[in-house]
Amino acid sequence: MKKIGFIGAYDKIDLMMYIGKILTTLKQKVLIVDATIIRKS
C-alpha cells in the first residue's frame, strides 16, 4: 500500500479529487480522507 500526504493550509480537495480520478482510471484503489481543521461556512 502506498500513501500520499498533502500538508498545509491551502484547500487541496480539488487536487486530491483529480489525482484520485487519474489513479482509479489506472485501476488503482483510492481512499481520500479530509482531516482539515479549518471549515468553510
| ∠ Cα 17 37 31 (to 5°) | 30
Over residues 2-15, mean pLDDT: 76
pTM (whole model) above 0.75: no
C-alpha cell belonging to residue 25: 482510471
Note whether 22 and 15 are within 8 A (CB). Answer: no
pLDDT at 2: 79
Q: What is the C-alpha to C-alpha distance for residues 10 and 38, in angstroms, rounded to an integer?
A: 10
The CA R_g of the chain, rounded to the nearest whole Å, is: 12
Q: DSSP character for 9?
A: S
Q: What is the pLDDT of residues 10-39, one digit of tens each?
A: 777 788 889 999 999 999 999 888 777 766
